[in-house]
A and B are shown apart, each in its own frame.
Chain A
């Protein structure tokens, strides 16, 4: 029984240290990835007009963009939106 208690205390220590270590690495690697991506692959900030000339609102524009992205699997590009 004392052997089992020793195992239990050992697992308590090793287990918690391992969980903290892994989540520490999640934090470290997450930060490294964010910094590298920010430095080498930043995405140009999209400035959406509050209202386009034809009266299309930001929300509608976002919905149209999302629909085009899904339909063209991300390859399509919106160049002009006309109200018919």
Chain B
């Protein structure tokens, strides 16, 4: 039997196929976060092809009553392989921490350790998460949905997905799309917010000159050892204070630790950054895309998520900038507000964009290392914010 009749009965699937195709175009041609957007877009197309059994079914469909659920074999048998993958890898919350392990193995905490003060701006930039949470509740979202919407402001894809799986799995598709779309639009959003909030004089603040005028108190005499001790001590502290952030940050710090140990465990670093991370990305993208069936996606809430996600992003960037401006009022050593603009997670794109803006105003003002400090602390900050949301709402 062909699927023509089903398409005539549910023409909305054609719109979803169009959306999938547009996202594929953006990923392939425009290179907007292609590693994730292409699998997500293809997942959307697969999920909306009638009769293919590739769309993810809601949790109620696999419930047997009294909090008992079908096992994975039954899910695969009744709903197909995409549901098997979704309930085994996504619903369990497995893939985002695995991706975080790879992110950790690719992250260098060195710039942050050399400029520890700048970590505070990674905290200030989380304000967008909680402000949009508040705004979303006033727009009629439930607290759990609002939490998932707000976390887009953290500008961290795996964190947004992990939080949504725990709080509002029915919104996973639109939230993942919004999070990754805005991350790819960082080169547009940061300059836009900066233009509105930062003066030309402030953009010319030269961080290296400030370092010469006010040199750091301590020079690190054994960076390798500091980098090894840092992830071990930090995960213990954070896990005690915000246990719900442990799956994400635990894997991030583990990945970072194996990277810093060096060639002794080089194979583990390779596995974390290539095989595991790439496999996780493929399955994450396809299954998240497969949650976006016409019935789930074509709802007014999706529009709210698109608008709310943008606001969360912009407010987070503004929060970091305002924090730097406040700091500059009270401190002799001035900081370029662009460093605050990178307090959201999107590493390293946010830092690269901020550095380019600084260079446009002063060709000798290289601020990349300073931006990376707040940028990396933003990864920790957004995971902690997600932990807080999950503690109160899950």
Contacts and interface: CB of A to CB of B under 8 A. Distances in A.
Do A and B originate from a single complex?
A: yes
Interface of A: 4-5, 7-12, 14-16, 18-27, 29-31, 33-35, 37-38, 41-43, 69-70, 73-74
A41 B133 CA distance: 46
B131 interface: yes
B389 interface: yes
Q: Which 9 A-B pairs have the closest CB atoms?
A: A42-B221, A43-B222, A23-B123, A12-B130, A8-B134, A15-B388, A20-B123, A38-B221, A19-B123
B220 A27 contact: no
A5 B388 contact: no
A4 B144 CA distance: 11
A22 B264 contact: no
Contacts of A34: 113, 218, 220, 226
Contacts of B127: 16
Given A12-B131, A12-B133, A4 B143 contact: yes
A4 B141 CA distance: 10
B225 interface: yes
Interface residues of B, number: 49
A69 B224 CA distance: 14
B242 A18 contact: yes
Contact of A26 (B116, B143, B225, B389): B116
Contact of A24 (B120, B138, B264): B120
B262 interface: yes
Contacts of A74: 262-264
B394 interface: no
A26 B116 CA distance: 8
A69 B266 CA distance: 12
B384 A18 contact: yes
Interface residues of B, dominant DSSP:
helix
Interface residues of A, dominant DSSP:
helix
A61 B219 CA distance: 25
A10 B133 CA distance: 11
A22 B242 contact: yes
A8 B117 CA distance: 29
Contacts of A19: 123, 126, 381, 384-385, 388
A73 to B, nearest CB: 5
22 contacts: A5-B138, A12-B130, A15-B388, A15-B389, A16-B126, A16-B127, A18-B384, A19-B126, A20-B124, A22-B241, A23-B381, A23-B384, A27-B116, A27-B117, A29-B230, A30-B116, A30-B119, A33-B230, A37-B222, A37-B226, A37-B229, A74-B264
B193 interface: no
Give the residue among A4, A5, A8, A25 with the most B Cβ atoms within 10 A.
A8
Contacts of A33: 226, 229-230, 233
A51 B384 CA distance: 49
A78 B130 CA distance: 55
Given A19-B384, A70-B266, 15 more contacts: A7-B392, A10-B392, A11-B130, A12-B134, A15-B388, A16-B126, A23-B123, A25-B238, A26-B116, A27-B117, A29-B233, A30-B119, A31-B116, A37-B221, A37-B222
B303 interface: no
B218 A15 contact: no
A10 B393 CA distance: 12
B377 A14 contact: no
A64 to B, nearest CB: 16
A42 B219 CA distance: 11
Nearest to A69: B263
A9 B127 CA distance: 12
Contacts of A42: 221-222
Contacts of A69: 263
B389 to A, nearest CB: 7
B380 A22 contact: yes
Nearest to B374: A23
A67 B118 CA distance: 34
B221 A8 contact: no
Contact of B137 (A4, A26, A41, A73): A4
Contacts of A7: 137, 143, 392
B120 A21 contact: no
B222 A41 contact: yes
B119 A41 contact: no
A23 B233 contact: no
